[in-house]
Amino acid sequence: MPALPLDEAGKYVAGAYLVFLALILIYVTIMAIRLDRLNKDLDELVELTEQDPGSQRPDARTPSTGDPRTGAAR
């Protein structure tokens, strides 16, 4: 014999599904907000690098000695 009759247990099962769905929606909303912030920060960094390319050291991107593709010394 089950702990609850099946006609009463359905309400609890439906409630559990609704709570689970609400948690999933909250999680997706939080991730969307974080992704939006990350995209804004990335756009800002791209703008900063495109505005003043002369401020970077010439050797900051590739080493002056060695293979520029791998960075290994010769």
> Alpha-carbon distance 43 to 24, whole Å?
28
* CB-side neighbour CA atoms (13 Å) of 61: 8
pTM above 0.75, yes or no: no
How crowded is residue 63: how many other Cβ atoms within 10 Å of its Cβ?
13
Per residue of the chain (74 residues), give pLDDT as tens.
567 677 778 889 999 999 999 999 999 999 999 999 999 999 999 999 888 656 655 555 555 566 667 766 65
